[in-house]
Structure 1
Amino acid sequence: MSPAGPVQVVAGDSAAYDAAMHDLVQDKVASRLFARDHTLWGAAAESEAAQRLGWIDLPRTSRALLESIIERRDTLRAEGVDRIVLCGMGGSSLAPEVICADAGVELVVLDSSHPDAVRDVIDTDLARTAVVIASKSGGTVETDSQRRAYEQAFVEADIDPASRMVVVTDPDSPLDEFATGRGWTVFRADPEVGGRYSALSAFGLVPSGLAGVELQTLLDDASALVPALQEDSPANPALQLGAVMAVAARQGVDKMVLGDTREPSVGFAAWVEQLVAESTGKNGTGILPIDVGSTTAPNFTPASQDTVLVSCGPASDLPDAPSGWSAHVDAAMGAQMLVWEVATAVAGRLLGINPFDQPDVESAKAAAREMLDGSTETWAPDFVDGDVQVFTAGDWLPDGISTVAEAVRALLARLDQKSGYLAVQAYLDRDRDEVVTGLRTALAERTSRPVSFGWAPRFLHSTGQYHKGGPAQGVFLQVTGAQTQDLAVPDRPFTFGEFIEAQAAGDAHVLGSRGRPVLRLHVGRPEALAALREDVG
């Protein structure tokens, strides 16, 4: 066990762990990383890594943003604008959501393309709302669609969008050019920081600061830990955490179950999910992080033999993992985010992958575009059971299946009892349809296997990379439908409802084409979602 500090670890194979730590120290990985050495991940990764190491310096360089953020916040508040809505995907939304929750500050996050979710957010307190549009590329379709809908709402309410819209994007992106041309406030992010490593960049700080978080403290906490993180020493907490993740994964313990010790949870594990899954899940390898909420939830208690147990938050006993691999991470939010970022980069080196690319994310986007433009066949249901249309992707459903319960049973029969996992993916309104989150617990108890849960489309920018690029161990349950009323996307040839349907179908077909069994349950009425608990659990 490591000594007390921000990270404590227990290695299921101490010899393998010690050997990895020895190599990391001897190769001066920590100091080279903080010197922005882009050769750490091998020749194939050098080009990408050379453009993605700006996050190392963010605790220092991001301080230049603070005055402008505070000035914009004060101006908005003087005008009676105190409700901040963030439109963004992946790291652009998850980091500010966690930072604000940890600080007890309200931030409304819109990272959905579900028409009911979009409408509900836009129709609430528009008169006192400012909107942050966050997109690194400037072309993220979900975020662009939300931007169009909000701009139209402001115009129809006789509110000048330039007085309410704030943009965070890379310099010279299409969004930068568009917003600058309209006189909107634009914060230009460091282009050498990738989205999932951007928590302490403008993407994390601008919405959090406008909402009221004390940003100086966040950066101070991260800066205070930098000396320990850049030290080539077995006591380096990020080396310890990265070694546990990677060495365990190399031994087949490749799922990392995350439980939050805070009451209530601030959602930190959801941010870790996108960081670790998208960074490591590729080339048939990787680490699948699974956010189970608390350390008393199924998959954490009890846990399976192929999982590392990690508790996050205030002081807690180290988890007792059947695999022998466990960790506890406890630090102030800014410091904890930096620890995980460094540890993930370290794990990438040990796994022999590039932690800065996401080669399989684009496949789902391309498939969704093909669905929207009609270049692929319409997806017909296999059968209908009451309020539920049942679809499958991949040739796996046995003949004669005619009910939801039978289809779920057949899907679970495909779940490998030693290394498999189930991913539940809800293309729904997460505020209204929270009842489906109970499916994760029910299925974890039913199968005694790791079960993840993701709201769509946010998980497509997160664990979606691992599902398609990581080990072929997963089976997938999609829940779609339950739209009260569709919503047009201004000046686009599709609606929000058509878009989220295309995203679901596109990702399912990509998964199916790669041999991953997918079962999609399309629920016709929001009220019928509750009945799924009996059929599925």
Structure 2
Amino acid sequence: MTTLSFEAAGAALAAVEKNVPALVRDDVAARLLAQDPTLWGPDAEAEASIRLGWLNPSEASRPLVGQIRGLREELAAEGVTRVVLAGMGGSSLAPEVITRTAGVDLTVLDSTDPDVVRAALATGLEETVIVVSSKSGSTVETDSQRRVFEQAFTDAGIDAKSRIVVVTDPGSPLDGAAREAGYRAVFNADPNVGGRYSALTAFGLVPSGLAGADIEALLDDAEDALEILSDNAADNIGLQLGAALGGTDPLRNKVVIVDEGSGLVGFPDWAEQLIAESTGKLGTGLLPVVVEPGAPEITSGAPDVLTARLVAVDTDAEPEGDQVVVAGSLGGQIILWEFATAVAGRLLAINPFDQPDVEAAKKAARGMLDSRPEPTEPSFVDGAVEVRGPSELLGSAGTLREALAALLGQLGPDGYLSVQAYLDRNLQSGLASIRPGLAAATGRPVTFGWGPRFLHSTGQFHKGGPAQGAYLQITGTPQEDLSIPGRPFTFGELITAQAAGDASVLADQGRPVLRLHFLRKQGVEELEAAVRNLVSEGGHS
């Protein structure tokens, strides 16, 4: 039996006390479990009517369990025990948290950085099966990864079609092409579930199950949680968490998520994409800010910050200040946060199932690939770092530290900084350590995302949410580029276009964007030093 717990204090508790009675009166829990598409108003009804399948995960997912187990056993008998997942957004973040929490190995490939892709190709190809996950069946990152693996298998004398497993919606371009190509297996996901709500569909279960996670227990856990959440009462913790997230007044739209030993490895990153992409639109929304224990945001006391602490089930943790404390096992937590996000969407008066601004960055990237514009000259070069930014942002800045200070100077009292690193997160994971330093220097929330994967999560909020952000984009020079079979562009050109396209969309919306390009690996150290200098100087003074 699943265990879920929720406690709230301060502004979060006030939001619960104010909003839950109305949610109960409107029968929201029962209507949500009955997949009522009218909960979010007439503008959202058409989309909601085809996006609520996640509330009954077992119907489409239970039959998959035996099929996945059987395929895993077949592959193991052939010596194929390494699973690589090519996917983006919810298609990669859900399997990542499921397998890491279960303690089983899964190589998640959610990058177009050529060094990252090459590293995934270089390890144990003889024992590898690749799971290609794309809801639309046309995701450029996933298609590119499939192409390069298919070529690598063939070049190694391996029957490529026997090593490719596809997860997609029925009738997608990939669905038909994969069946025609004779790939090892094609799993169709429930088409009535959006990508960020798809953790308990084929998108979450196929790669996780092939890697060895107990997906049947995960579904059992989720079903137990749904029983808890179906109760139309004031103590329904799904209604309570939803009210705390979406019902503070004034809205505390920076939701700081910190894992304090929950045991759910990587859960904040999954929750980040769920909340940001679901709510960040029409000039409002919630920005999840994933932080480490003791982060500056937790104790800042900022009036626009709400802290969500994830703790272990057996922990007697009490919320302090404007906080919620949430505990539960993985399947239960997945359903709880999906349920609460849908409730928060109702309170925010938005459609939590569309993503109107995600396509803008994709379109801009495609335009960059088609037109192949010449690289713009940097505003200046400082050491191993090229600096680019509009003159109205940079002013008289002539050093990396001065450019950073100029960007941070754009932050208002309700602002946030988004750091977006289009780099090899395996080799340069330490770069994320600049996040707390920047938060300390600014006194404002700071998000850190790896590109291009953040485009499928917080990318929606950055463009569709309130105009409060400042954006630090970091790119680098790969050690070696990598061609994409059958495409007129390389991985290096693709990730460059994705970064440039997103920066142009943000700039077109009047958002302040500072772009840093590392010419050499020393650029990381130089940026870290510049951040330390800013912290010691007290920010952007």
Structures share fold, TM-score greater than 0.5: yes
1:420 matched residue in structure 2: 415
Q: Deviations over 1:369-410 (max 9, x none)?
A: 1111117674332122221111125x6324322111110010
Which deviates more from structure 2 when the two are superposed, residues 523-532 or residues 294-303?
Answer: 294-303
Check conservation: 2:4, 2:329, Cα contact below 8 A. Answer: no
**1:216-255 equivalence runs, <5 A:** 216-248=216-248, 250-255=249-254
1:352 matched residue in structure 2: 349
Which amino acid is 1:402 matched to? Answer: G
2-side partners of 1:227 and 1:11: how far apart?
28
Q: Residues 235, 179 of structure 1: CA spacing in aligned structure 2 closer, same or farther, 3 A cutoff?
A: same
Query: Unaligned regions of 5+ residues in structure 1, if any?
Result: none
1:45 matched residue in structure 2: 44
2-side partners of 1:456 and 1:155: how far apart?
29
SS of structure 2 residue aligned to 1:396: helix
**1:124-523 equivalence runs, <5 A:** 124-184=123-183, 185-248=185-248, 250-262=249-261, 266-292=265-291, 294-302=292-300, 304-314=302-312, 315-321=315-321, 324=322, 326-374=323-371, 378-392=375-389, 396-416=392-412, 418-523=413-518
1-side partners of 2:4 and 2:50: how far apart?
32
2-side partners of 1:495 and 1:397: how far apart?
32
1-side partners of 2:398 and 2:274: how far apart?
39
**1:108-123 equivalence runs, <5 A:** 108-123=107-122
Check conservation: 1:279, 1:354, Cα contact below 8 A. Answer: yes
2-side partners of 1:48 and 1:310: how far apart?
29
Q: Residues 530, 283 of structure 1: CA spacing in aligned structure 2 closer, same or farther, 3 A cutoff?
A: same
Hey, which bits of structure 1, 4+ residues long, moved more than 4 A? Answer: 13-16, 375-378
1-side partners of 2:13 and 2:119: how far apart?
52
2-side partners of 1:59 and 1:251: how far apart?
38
Q: Deviations over 1:308-336 (max 9, x none)?
A: 11111302523423xx3x11111110110
1:79 matched residue in structure 2: 78
Check conservation: 2:8, 2:319, Cα contact below 8 A. Answer: no
TM-aligned CA deviation for residue 297 of structure 1: 2.4
1-side partners of 2:220 and 2:437: how far apart?
42
1:54 matched residue in structure 2: 53
Query: Unaligned regions of 5+ residues in structure 2, if any?
Result: 533-541
Q: Deviations over 1:260-312 (max 9, x none)?
A: 122877111000000000000000000000111x3322322445332111111
Q: Percent identity?
A: 53
Check conservation: 2:9, 2:319, Cα contact below 8 A. Answer: no
Check conservation: 1:435, 1:529, Cα contact below 8 A. Answer: no
TM-aligned CA deviation for residue 161 of structure 1: 1.3
Which deviates more from structure 2 when the two are superposed, residues 50-59 or residues 357-366?
Answer: 50-59
Q: Residues 190, 5 of structure 1: CA spacing in aligned structure 2 closer, same or farther, 3 A cutoff?
A: closer
1-side partners of 2:262 and 2:23: how far apart?
36
RMSD across aligned positions (CA): 1.6
TM-score of the superposed pair, with normalisation by structure 2: 0.95
Figure out how many residues of one structure are paired with residues of the other and give that number: 527
SS of structure 2 residue aligned to 1:328: strand
2-side partners of 1:411 and 1:11: how far apart?
32
Which amino acid is 1:354 matched to? Answer: N
Q: Residues 454, 111 of structure 1: CA spacing in aligned structure 2 closer, same or farther, 3 A cutoff?
A: same
Which amino acid is 2:393 matched to? Answer: L
